[in-house]
Structure formats: structure tokens, C-alpha cells
A and B are shown apart, each in its own frame.
Chain A
């Protein structure tokens, strides 16, 4: 290219030389531009505006662009998820509570696959699966145990907390009674039995030192015989002096001790009386909790151990196996200051991987009424209407659709009850739980649902709960920011433009309002209006929120109001209004816009903080905000941390993205402040 240019230049030189030689006077002077019309050339580059220029700078800032896109996705999700996710988040689903997050169907070591490792679960030695409590309820169902029986690692252990499962399957252990009543004695005693005071009774009991030391302070105690003299007159006969020693104690001749008690004379009702055997914990002097741990009790009448006629609890008076004594021995503290427990009961425990989803979606038995069956037929699950009079399950025929969606798989038994006029019909069925969830409307799909964020204490899809809350918070954020910007700009503009005493008074007012801790103001507003709702909360957020904007606007106005263009405009007769809104404000708008963007996360943060601090006073009615969701999840931080983790990640993402986006905007609008603190 350059060579070519050089050549042409040389050629021109040659040409001029030739021209110089052939001189022509008529062509000596020539108007170069005689025929061309001269006018302003159009810019070849496109003109740029302030906004476009800022946008160009913004796009160059990669982290801000990334933040803006993540933010966009999150905002879109906040709008779409509550609409698209059909799972019910209002009704309580008691079965599918606390399901951990599940993203994958494949088991991958507990990572987002809906499983978790559990240990120290009491195992039923008969079935080999986790045991049910005394009411027949399972904490861990066998359907959820990954790998079945072989998946459970068994070990023998001791359970020190008398949960009902331990009481059912534990062996041995010691009966404990704890009391901290400084005013009265506390008692633990057996069920009633007949005491024939002419017989020879021998009491022997063991207080294990090893156990007692692990259970806190050791009390002073004594053994007693409790007798009901009359309906309301209970007497306690101490059959040994108060003491506080460990080991095995034997008291023979119990009947004689009772008879020698001066109080005994009050009883005239022959020699056979209803009584109980008990232990008395003496008054506490220091109000500390004191625990007596009774390992075994043997109470013999003429050499044979006493048993009560109660068939279920044969050994209730004498015991060396505390699990049985636990139920029938009652505690009595005058002010309820005593409670009993079981210590060191031997149980078989297991550790296994538990699939919470498999357990939640397994089949169980459930009862369906005749109206349910009518609905099954309406929905096309049944081939023919169910005939209750036929009395058998034979006419329960599922259509192919029913095979897919009917919550009742097969009928176990029919129950028809006549209540006078009314007849109630129901059927106990094998129930498919996931189909049942679909049938009653908990889930939108008739399939085992995967919950991305798990479920909360009410069995709600936490994914939907989080994003619904986020939507409420974003609405609050955008609205509050918009109001704050408008208020702040107007206040700051007036204060900054007019200056002087107007500015002085307005400044003091903002100082007073800004000086009040916002949390107090917010609480006051909410308390004054009684119950809080979205609009009151919005009002509370806007009460002081505009001060920041007004300060920025005011300084912008101080900066620009003395400029030449303002003066020029004023000399041309522009009104104050025109100067403020058409001249000064557009020049300072960049900073104000940035402030607006950074205000949204601020509002979300304020809302969340106040929800954390005053969950009772400020809970929303209807729409639950993100802050309320977070502070609810905080309650389960120990047992079910996945909730607070997922909600916190979303919260952090929103905050980081808003801040990065806001900083990017600030740098774009005002390149001179790049990298400076906000």
C-alpha cells in the first residue's frame, strides 16, 4: 500500500513538472471548489448519547454483565416459578415434610439425591428394620432403607433417652427420677397392691454408683410405703432413714416398721390395706436438679416377689428390667417438679443410608370414603361405579388411567357403619402416596416429585416458597426504591437548588429523621397500624429510605447550579421548575440512577433483617416475604440445614449480583469514580 502511494506521488511530481513546462496563463489560477457546493458533512460515525455511552462502558465490565444476567435469571425465576410450579404451598402435607433436596435419581453418596446417612436408630430385632414407637408410628420406614436389611449396619448400644422406641425395644437399664423442687419432697411409686401387714416383707434395691455419677447431683432419699388411708388422705411411711448412699440396700421386716410408725394407729381398716411401694427424694436445699437412678427393686412377700394382677406389667413392683417399670411407676412432685426417665437401656441400633423420597412415596394403607370412590369414577379411574352393596372388593376394577393415577391400588376391607339415619361407607385400601398427593392437590404431577430445595416443616415445596418470597421481596424492593427515588430527588432538588434557609431547615429535618434508628421507626409504624401487611411495610421502608437519595441529589444540585449553562438558561428567563428538572437534574441523573439500583438490595436486606429480629410482629399476611422465609428456615438450622443453605445461597446471589450490577452502572455513568468505594 505504502509503495503504491509512493509511486503515485512520484507520478504526480512528474506531471507537475510537465505542466510547469507547458505553461498556460488562462489556467494559471483555478478555483478549486468553484462548482462544488460546500456544506457541513454528515458525521460518518454514529452520534452517541450519554446513555449509550454509559451502556458501552457497562458492557465492557465483564463481571457486571455476568451479574446482570444472573440477576435477570433470578428475577425471571421469581416471576415464573410461582406460576409454573403447581405444587401446593398452602395446604399442609404431613407426610412429605423435611424432604432433603433432590436433583438426581441416581444415588451419589447423599449429594442432592434425596438420601442421607442416619445412625443410632433403634432397630426392631424381629423385623430387622427400624422400629416403630409405641403408637405404631415409624420415624424411619423400611421402604426408605437403601439396600434393605443388608444396608443396615447393626451395633449394640445404650440409649440414655427414653424415647418411646427405646421403651419398646430396650432391654434393662435403670429407672431414673429427677427432681429440683426445693419446697417439697418428690416421690416415685409403683402401682397399687394389697399389703398384708401380718406377712413378712423384704425390700431390696440397688442404686448403681456408676450410673448415678453421670446423671448429675445425687439426692438424699429414702424408701417409703404409701397408703391411702381414705379417699383423700395419703400417708407416707418411711421405712428407712433418709440417706444418700449407693449400692444394694436391703430392708427386711417392712411390715413391722410400718406398724411401729406412730401414724399407723390412724388406720383402723384391718391389716390388709391398699398401698404402694415408693422412693422419696428429699427437699432440695440448693434447687439443683437431683437424680436418683434405681437399677433394680425386689419386693418379696414371704419369700416370693410381688407381682400385680395387671397382665401387661407383671413385674411392676419388683424389677430388674427398668423398661417395664418405666410405664407403671408414677412420679409425684407436689409442684410437678419431678420427672422420670430411663437410663442406659440396651438396644440394637443401626446405621444406614435413608432414602427420604422412597419412604415418602411408598405405599401405605389409607381409608377412602364413598365420595372418594364417586370421584374416582368421575375421573375415569374405575371401569364401573363401585358397588358397596356387593360387599366385596371384586368390583373394584381400575382403568388404565386408574392404574396410573388412582390413589387406591387395591381394597383391603370395606367398612359400612350405620349411624341411625346416616350410613358411612369407607374402604381401607393400599394407598399409593404420590398418587394420593396428586389426588388431593399437593403436587402438580402424578409422579414422585423431585424437590430441588427439599420441603419444609409443612411439606411445602421449598423451591416455590423461596421464589414466591423472593418475588414479594423484589416487588417491595422495586416499589420502595421507586418511591424513595422520587421523594429523595424532589426533596434534594428543592433543598439543593434553593439553598439558604430552605436548605438549612430541610437538612435539619432529614437529620432528625435519619438520626432515628430505622429499625425503631419501622417497628413503631407497624405497631401503630396493628397488623402488618405489604403496604404498611412499604410505607415503613419509604419513611427514611429516601434520605440517601436526597443527600446525593442535593450535592449534585450544589455542584451544577452555579454552572454557566444554568446561568445562561436563567438569563433567558427559564423558570425554577425548568432549571431544576430540565437542566440540572438530567446532568446529575447518573449518580441517582446508580443509587436506585443499589437501593433495591438495601430494601431487601432491611426487610430480611426486620423479619429476623421481629418475626412475630412483622410477619406478612398472605404473601410470605423472602426475609420471613429465611427466618423460618433459621429455626431448623440444626436438624434440617438444607433449607437455610438453599435460601441463603439465593439471598447471597441476589445481593452480590445487585451490588456488582450497581457498581458496574456507577462506573459506566461516572467513569471518574471507578474503583472507589460506594
Chain B
């Protein structure tokens, strides 16, 4: 088992490494966006890039200086010193930058600095500042959606092919099909603009600090938006699993040996139907870290999802890289944890065992 876990972890790291490397190289192939800001910030930015090894600073006397004098467009940034000399900054080849980038991460854990969103701050610190918001939201949504989803699923399965089941199944179908942004729009129109129960935007930290009621009400739309999907997912999955277990022979045996329906369901059916559902819940918990991009964008939530979109729009590639690293890692980890938890929940399943 441990050998298998280690093997999977190793594979996970390799996959992450390849994905991130590919993204980095692809991003670096795009034209560089010069940082927006005043000259001091620009100069410090370029000097930092030189210090990190992504750029070269070509001063008079350095090799290649003549080429830049002849063709100043080849340089990314031109600066005239107080001495009257012109210094050029130009980016190094992509692969060189890639190797140095790797080196910086491995040796110094330096993922680069933001060029557009908040110039000069390290990308990691920007992400870390935004992570708690996304996490809090997802945790609240999980706490609501897991019991609600499983409960609805059980209810529907116990009343199979009756009115209750039909209503629940239809609702699940509808809510699974309707895209989240449509749901958010309707909730905004109804609850925020129409009835004015909840704020139309995520309350800012200052507003939330003044009045905790606004802070709580700000959670309503995002949590509901996050919940609908997962409640429906859990409900559908639970219903399908429980229905299958309910028609199995061992449950018939349980009833024949004298258990009541309630006893049979609680002691046998539920336990067995939970086998595939528990990994699903665990997988969701790993996903707690990631925010929903559309939701955060539409409701103005300062989480990592909206950060990703902002960074992409502003072409702040360092932030994009770190954000993407988080998303990739979460995605792969979720798969791994789900796979492993099958073995823990159901001892009959031996992960990685040969046929």
C-alpha cells in the first residue's frame, strides 16, 4: 500500500512538473507586458528581473551593446543613467529563463513578482492573502451541501418511483443542467436587486468589520451558488447507489432474517452505498481550496478564482503561474485522494494490486 501511495505521489509530482513547465514556456512565448507604473517602479522591476536572471542588463562596454545601439527596438527597456549613458534591458532566451525560473523555485522558493496587479509584491504573498476567502466560502458550502445532498438522495431512493422521488430527481436534473452563472444571475435579480435581502456585491472587509450582519448576508448568494451543484451531484449519486444496494440480495437476506426496513436500510444499505460516496466527499474537501472563478468574478469576491481571471486579463504572468500551480495541484491531489480513499473505505478494494 505505502509503496503504491509513494509511487502515485511521485507520478503526481512529475505530472505537475511537466504541466507547470509547459505552461511557463508557453506563457513566456507570449509578448512581455511591461509593468504599468512609474519609472522608479519600472527600473526596480527590471533590476529585479536581472537579479533573478531572466533579463540581461547591457551597459556600455558589455558585449552586444553595439547591436542594441544600432537597433534599440530589440531591447525591452531603455534607460538613460544620470551619467548620460544608455543602458538596455533585454530578456534572455525562453529556455534560459525557464532553467533559471526552475532554479529560483527549487533553491529560493521564489515564484516571481507581480508585474501588474500589485507591482513588486511576491506572487506567493498575493495568493496567500486571497486564499482564505475562497477556502472559507467552500468550507461553508461543503458543510451545507454534504448533508443536504446525501439526505435528499436517501429520501429519493427510499421513496423510489413515488412522487417525492420524481420531484427530487427532476429538481436535481434541472439544477445540474442550469449553468451556475444563470443561477447567480437569477439570485442576484431576485434576492439582491429585487427583495434587497442580500448585498449585490461581496461586502468589502471594512463593511464587514463594521456590521457582521452584512458579512453574513454576503455569504448567502455565493454559498447557495456553490451548493446547488454539489447538492445535486451528491443527491443523484446517493440515490443511484442506494437504489442499487436496495435491490441486492444481501438486503433481502437481512429482511428475511427479521430486520425491519429501517434497520436494514441503516445498518446494511446505507453503509454499503457510502463506499463510492465517501471518496467523493473527500475529493470535494480537497477542492475546498479552489474557488469558483465565475462566481468570484460575478460577485466580486476577492478569492483566488477572480485573481486568476484578473491576472490573466492584466497579463501578470507570475501570478498566473502560482495560481495555476495551485489549481493543478488541487486537481491532481483530489484524484489521488479519491483513488486512495476507495481502499480505505472499502477494504476489499486493493489499490494498485495486480490482477
Give residues in A with beta carbon < 8 Å to B: 508, 511-512, 515-517, 519-520, 523-524, 527-528, 601, 605, 608-609, 612-614, 616-617, 630, 634, 637-638, 641, 644-645, 648, 651-652, 655-656, 658-660, 663, 675-677
Per CB-CB distance, the 7 closest pairs between chain A and chain B, nearest first, are A656-B177, A655-B177, A648-B182, A659-B177, A652-B178, A676-B240, A641-B189
Are A512 and B18 in touch, CB under 8 angstroms? yes
Bound complex: CA A130 to CA B137 (Å): 46
| Contact call A519/B293, Cβ cutoff below 8 A | yes
A677 and B309 contact, Cβ closer than 8 Å, known pairs A644-B185, A656-B178:
no
For the complex, what is the distance from the CA of A659 to the CA of B327, rounded to whole Å? 28
Assess the B182–A651 pair: CB atoms within 8 A.
Answer: yes
A517–B327 CA distance with the chains assembled, in angstroms: 7
Which residues in A have their C-beta under 8 angstroms from that of B173?
656, 659-660, 663
Contact assessment for A524 and B178 in the assembled complex, using a CB-CB cutoff below 8 Å: no
Q: How far is the CA of A224 from the CA of B181 in the complex (A)?
A: 55
Residue B30 at the A interface, CB < 8 A?
Answer: yes
CB-based contact B179/A655 at 8 Å: yes
Contact between chains at B200 and A638 (CB < 8 Å): yes
Residue contact A655 to B178, C-beta cutoff 8 Å: yes
Partner of A637, one of B23, B189, B243, B332: B189
Q: Does B208 lie at the interface of the complex (its beta carbon under 8 Å from any beta carbon of A)? A: no
Could you tell me if B309 and A609 are in contact, using CB atoms closer than 8 angstroms? Answer: no
Q: Which of B30, B182, B244 has the most CB of A within 10 A?
A: B182
Q: Is B237 an interface residue (CB 8 A)?
A: yes
> B residues within 8 A CB of A645?
186, 189
CB contacts (< 8 Å) of B22 on chain A: these are 512, 516
- Say what secondary structure dominates the interface of chain A: helix
**Interface hits, B32-59 → A, CB 8 Å:** none
A residues within 8 A CB of B328? 515-517
Q: In this assembly, does B143 line the interface, its C-beta being within 8 Å of a C-beta of chain A? A: no
CB<8 Å pairs between A and B, sample of 15: A512-B22, A517-B328, A517-B331, A520-B324, A608-B181, A609-B293, A613-B297, A613-B309, A614-B312, A637-B188, A651-B178, A652-B179, A656-B178, A659-B173, A675-B240
Q: A524-B26, A634-B185 are in contact. List 18 more A-B contacts (CB 8 A).
A: A515-B15, A516-B19, A517-B324, A520-B327, A523-B312, A524-B23, A524-B27, A527-B315, A612-B298, A614-B309, A614-B313, A645-B186, A648-B185, A652-B174, A652-B177, A656-B177, A659-B177, A677-B240
Decide if B87 is an interface residue (CB 8 Å cutoff).
no
Asked whether B185 lies within 8 Å of A637 as measured between CB atoms, the reply is: yes
Chain B 1-43, CB-CB to A under 8 Å as 1, else 0, gives: 0000000000000011011001100110110000000000000
From A601, A648, A655, A659, contact of B186 by CB (8 A): A648
Distance of A630 Cα from B179 Cα, bound (Å): 12
B190 to chain A, nearest CB (A): 9
Complex Cα spacing A675 to B179, Å: 22
User: Is B294 among interface residues, defined by CB-CB distance under 8 A?
Assistant: yes
B311-350 contacts to A (CB < 8 Å)? 312-313, 315, 320, 324, 327-328, 331-332
Q: Which residues of A contact B186 (CB under 8 A)?
A: 645, 648
CB–CB A612/B294 < 8 A: yes
- By a CB distance below 8 angstroms, the chain B residues around A637 are 185, 188-189, 193
- Closest chain B residue to A638, Cβ basis: B193
**Interface residues contributed by chain B, number (CB under 8 Å):** 44
State whether A617 touches B15 (Cβ < 8 A): no
Cβ of B102 within 8 Å of any chain A Cβ, yes or no, is no
Interface: B264 (CB within 8 A): no
> Is there an interface contact between A515 and B19, defined as CB atoms closer than 8 Å?
yes
Q: How far is the CA of A656 from the CA of B185 in the complex (A)?
A: 17
For residue A523, which residues in chain B have a CB less than 8 angstroms away from its CB?
Answer: 312
Nearest residue, chain A, Cβ from B29: A528
Q: Are B23 and A520 in contact (CB under 8 A)?
A: yes
Complex interface: chain A residues within 8 A of B312 (CB): 520, 523, 614, 617
Distance between Cα atoms of A511 and B18 in the complex (Å): 11
Q: How far, in Å, is B40 (CB) from chain A's closest CB?
A: 19
B149-179: CB near A (< 8 Å → 1, else 0) gives: 0000000000000000000000001101111
**Shortest distance in angstroms between A641's beta carbon and chain B's nearest beta carbon?**
5
Complex formed: what's the CA distance from A546 to B202 in Å? Answer: 37
Is there an interface contact between B181 and A630, defined as CB atoms closer than 8 Å? yes
Shortest Cβ gap from B180 to chain A (Å): 9
- B189 in contact with A613 (CB, 8 Å): no
Distance in angstroms between the alpha carbons of A634 and B174 in the assembled complex: 21
In the bound complex, residues from chain B placing their C-beta under 8 Å from that of A656 are 173-174, 177-178
- Residue in B16, B200, B308 whose Cβ sees the most chain A Cβ within 10 Å: B308
Q: Nearest Cβ in chain A — how far from B211, in angstroms?
A: 17
B193 touches A616 (CB 8 A): no
Interface centre among B173, B181, B240 (most CB of A within 10 A): B181
Q: Nearest Cβ in chain A — how far from B228, in angstroms?
A: 13
Q: Considering the chains assembled together, what is the distance between the CA atoms of A637 and B300 in angstroms?
A: 15
Cα separation A663 to B173 with both chains bound (whole Å):
10
| Chain A residues in 8 Å Cβ range of B174 | 652, 656
> A424: shortest Cβ distance to chain B, in Å?
47
Nearest B residue to A615, CB-CB: B313
Find chain B residues with CB under 8 A from A528 CB. Answer: 26, 29-30
Q: Bound state CA distance, A648 and B184, in angstroms? A: 11
Q: How far is the CB of A469 from chain B (nearest CB, A)?
A: 14
Interface residues in B228-255 by Cβ distance below 8 A to A read 236-237, 240, 243-244
Instruction: For A527, list chain B residues within 8 Å (CB).
Output: 30, 315
Closest to B17 in A: A512
- Shortest A529–chain B CB gap in Å is 11
Docked pose: A520 CA to B320 CA in angstroms: 9
Knowing A512-B18, A637-B189, the reply to whether A613 touches B327 (Cβ < 8 A) is no
A451 to chain B, nearest CB (A): 20
Contacts of A675 in B (CB 8 A): 240, 243
Q: Are B176 and A659 in contact (CB under 8 A)?
A: yes
Residues of A with C-beta under 8 A to B324: 517, 520
Give the chain A neighbours of B181 by CB distance below 8 A. 608-609, 612, 630, 634
B15 and A512 within 8 A (CB): yes
Which A residues lie within 8 Å of B309 (CB)? 613-614
Smallest beta-carbon distance A15→chain B, Å: 54
CB distance from A67 to the nearest CB of B (A): 10
Contact with A along B204-224 (1 / 0, CB 8 A): 000000000000000000000
Residues of B within 8 A of A508 (CB): 15
> How far in angstroms is the closest Cβ of chain B from A401?
45
Q: Known interface pairs A613-B309, A655-B177, A656-B178. Does A516 touch B185 (Cβ–Cβ under 8 Å)?
A: no
Residues of A within 8 A of B15 (CB): 508, 511-512, 515
With a cutoff of 8 Å between Cβ atoms, the chain A residues found around residue B18 in the complex are: 512
**CB closest chain-A residue, reference B16:** A515
Residues in B neighbouring A511, C-beta threshold 8 A: 15
When chains A and B are docked, how far (Å) is the Cα of A676 from the Cα of B22?
37
Please, which residues of chain A bring their CB within 8 A of the CB of B297? 612-613
Report yes or no: B313 in contact with A617, Cβ–Cβ below 8 A: yes
| Cross-chain contact A641 with B193 (CB below 8 angstroms) | yes
* A677 surroundings in chain B (CB, below 8 A): 236-237, 240
> A520 — which chain B residues lie within 8 A by C-beta?
23, 312, 320, 324, 327
* Docked pose: A517 CA to B126 CA in angstroms: 20
Q: Which residue of B lies closest to A675 (CB)?
A: B240
Q: How far is the CB of A441 from chain B (nearest CB, A)?
A: 33
User: Across the two chains, which residue of chain A brings its CB closest to B160?
Assistant: A675
CB neighbours (8 Å) of A601 from chain B are 177
Assuming A517-B328, A524-B27, A659-B173, is B179 touching A651 (CB within 8 A)? yes
Known contacts A515-B332, A677-B240; A608 and B179 CB within 8 A of each other: yes
**With A and B bound together, what is the CA distance between A413 and B29 in angstroms?**
65
* Residues on A with beta carbons closer than 8 Å to the beta carbon of B327: 517, 520
Residues on B with beta carbons closer than 8 Å to the beta carbon of A663: 173
Instruction: Kindly state the separation between the CA atoms of A612 and B294 in the bound complex, as whole angstroms.
Output: 7
Bound: A121/B129 CA distance, A: 45
- Contact partners of A608 in chain B: CB under 8 A: 179, 181
Chain A residue with minimal CB distance to B182?
Answer: A648
Cα of A677 to Cα of B315 in the assembled complex, Å? 39
C-alpha gap A287/B151 in the complex (Å):
53
